[in-house]
Amino acid sequence: MANKIYIALGSNIESREDFLEKALEKLKEKKIKVVKKSFLYETEPVGEEEQAWFLNQVVEVETSFNPEELLIELQKIEKDLGRVEGKRNGPRKIDLDILFFGDLVVDLPHLKIPHLRLAERKFILEPLNE
């Protein structure tokens, strides 16, 4: 049985929906098959910085990549779509986070699965619950 892998997508720089759609296309190009998609959710940004609201979505995917390889591919997609490293919880064109990778627990300095702040993020829990 394949691992159930869930990835959160988010964008709060226009055109948010276009960035999410482009990210989904890039996943396909990288041999990361989207099995299910949640609805889109508009959510208030986390943190104190004044910024636009986010558009969020969660997808279930299938891939032959292991968790670290998947992280590298997601970071490449973010970079390809113009994401620049900035302030934590700051504005971003695209944000891709691995939420779950089957029942694996990963605790590395650069990768935590399940996602550390999962329980405190309504914008992840609602689409994940679909």
* Tokens 């670290």 belong to residue: 68
How many CB atoms neighbour CB 71 within 10 A? 20
SS3 10: strand
The active-site residue out of 18, 88, 92, 107 is 92
The active-site residue out of 88, 97, 117, 121 is 97
The active-site residue out of 83, 103, 107, 117 is 83
83 is catalytic: yes
95 is catalytic: yes
The active-site residue out of 16, 95, 107, 117 is 95
80 is catalytic: no
107 is catalytic: no
Q: Which residues fall within 8 angstroms of residue 125, CB to CB, at 6 or more apart?
A: 118, 119
Catalytic residue positions, numbered: 83, 92, 95, 97
